Amino acid sequence: MEILKNDLINMYHRFICRFCHFTLMNASFVELSHSIDIDSIQNIPPNHNRFMQYSKKEFILVSTNNDEQHNLEHFYCEICHRWYNLSYSIGNISKHIARKHNDEETSPINQNTIEKALKIFILTNGYPFSSIEDPALTNVLNIRISRKQLAKECSSLALSIRNTIKIRLCQSSSICLVFDEWTDDASRPYLGISAHSLSTNLYTTYILDHINLTSIHNKTEVIAAIIEELVNRYGISQKIKCCVTDTARLMISVVDTLGYIWSPCYCHIFNNLLGRVIRGIEDDLQPLFDLQASLSHSTCFKNYCINKKLRITSLPSYTKTRFYSLFKLLRNFHEIRESINDFLHDEKRELFDVHLFPKLDILLEFVGTVRHCSLIMEENTFGSISHVIPSLKLIKECVANQTEYQEMVSSYDEAISELWDSYFEPNKITLLVSTRLNPYLPHEIILDDDDIIAADQFIRTHYENHRSERNQYVLRSRTERSYGLSMEFFRKQSTNNDEFCEYLKISSNLKDTNGNLHQFWVENSKKFPKLSKLAFDYLQIPASNASAERQFSKAKKIVTMRRLAMSGERVGDSVMVAGNYDISKDLIK
Compute how many other C-beta atoms are within 10 angstroms of the C-beta atom of residue 174: 19
Same domain for 309 and 353? yes
Considering the domain architecture, whether residues 420 and 312 belong to the same structural domain is answered as yes
Model confidence, pTM: 0.74
Residues 393 and 320 in one domain: yes
Summarised one tens digit per residue, pLDDT across range 476-527 is: 444 444 444 433 443 344 434 578 888 888 888 876 767 888 999 999 888 8
pLDDT tier for residue 163 given thresholds of 50, 70 and 90: very high
* Residue-wise pLDDT tens digits, 202-254: 899 999 999 999 888 888 999 999 999 999 999 999 999 999 999 999 999 99
Q: CB of 287 within 8 A of CB of 353?
A: yes
> Given phi > 0 = left and psi -120 to 50 = alpha, else beta, which region is 87?
left
Edge-to-edge strands of the sheet including 74-77? 22-25, 74-77, 82-85
Instruction: Report pLDDT for 60.
Output: 39
pLDDT at 94: 62
Rounded Cα distance between 279 and 507, Å, is 42
CA–CA distance, 412 with 399 (Å, rounded to integer):
8
Flag whether pLDDT at 46 surpasses 70.
no
| 33 and 179 within one domain | no
Average pLDDT over residues 116-121: 88
- Is residue 160 within 8 A of residue 587, CB to CB? The reply is yes
- The pLDDT-based confidence of 529 (bands split at 50, 70, 90) is confident
With a CB cutoff of 8 Å and minimum separation 6, the contacts of 325 are 316, 317, 318, 319
Boundary (domain end) residue, out of 106, 140, 165: 106
In a domain, 531, yes or no: yes
Q: How confident is the model at residue 472 (pLDDT cuts 50, 70, 90)?
A: very low
Instruction: With beta carbons less than 8 A apart as the criterion, state whether 189 and 199 touch.
Output: no
Same domain, 232 and 294: no
Q: Under a CB-based contact definition with an 8 Å cutoff, are residues 259 and 193 in contact? A: no
Is residue 478 within 8 Å of 252, Cβ to Cβ? yes
CB 201 within 8 A of CB 566: no
332 and 203 within one domain: no
**Does 557 fall in a domain?**
no
Q: How far is CA 377 from CA 156, 251, 536, 547, in A?
A: 35, 20, 17, 11
Q: Answer for the pair 312, 305: CB distance below 8 angstroms, yes or no.
A: yes
Domain that holds residue 160: 153-262+565-587
Q: CA-to-CA distance for 430 and 432, rounded, in angstroms?
A: 6
Across 546-561, average pLDDT: 91
Residues 219 and 360 in one domain: no
Q: Where are the alpha helices (DSSP H) in 296-356?
A: 299-307, 325-346
Within this chain, do residues 490 and 404 fall inside the same structural domain, yes or no? yes
User: How far is CA 224 from each of CA 175, 227, 265, 379, rounded to the nearest angstrom?
Assistant: 17, 5, 19, 27
Instruction: Tell me the longest C-alpha to C-alpha distance in the chain.
Output: 91
Q: Identify whether 551 is part of a domain.
A: no
Q: Residue 573: how many CB atoms within 10 A of its CB?
A: 25
Is residue 129 in a domain?
no
Q: Which residue has the higher pLDDT, 86 or 436?
A: 436
Are 275 and 248 contained in the same domain? no
Residue 34 has pLDDT above 50, yes or no: no
Q: Is the pLDDT assigned to residue 416 strictly greater than 80?
A: yes
Residue 191 has pLDDT above 60, yes or no: yes
Residues 382 and 403 in one domain: yes
Q: Are 193 and 245 in contact (CB under 8 A)?
A: no
Average pLDDT, the chain: 78
- Specify if 240 maps to a domain: yes
Look at the chain and report how many structural domains it folds into: 3
Q: What is the pLDDT of residue 112?
A: 81
**For residue 316, is it within any domain?**
yes
User: For the residues 74-93, what does the mean pLDDT come to?
Assistant: 59
- Transcribe 374-418 into DSSP letters: HHHHHT--TTGGGGHHHHHHHHHHHHHT-TT-HHHHHHHHHHHHH
Q: Are residues 174 and 317 in the same domain?
A: no
DSSP E strands, 27-99 = 31-32, 50-54, 58-62, 74-77, 82-85
| pLDDT digits 0-9 by tens, 317-335 | 776 667 778 888 888 888 8
> Is residue 258 predicted with pLDDT exceeding 90?
yes
481 domain residue, yes or no: yes
Alpha-helical regions (H) of 244-356: 249-258, 266-280, 282-295, 299-307, 325-346
> Are 199 and 310 within one domain?
no
Residue 390 identity (one-letter amino acid): P
Backbone angles phi, psi at 242, to 5 degrees: -165, 170
558 located within any domain: no
Q: Which of 73, 90, 106 is the last residue of a domain?
A: 106
Query: Rounded distance, CA 51 to CA 62, Å?
Result: 6
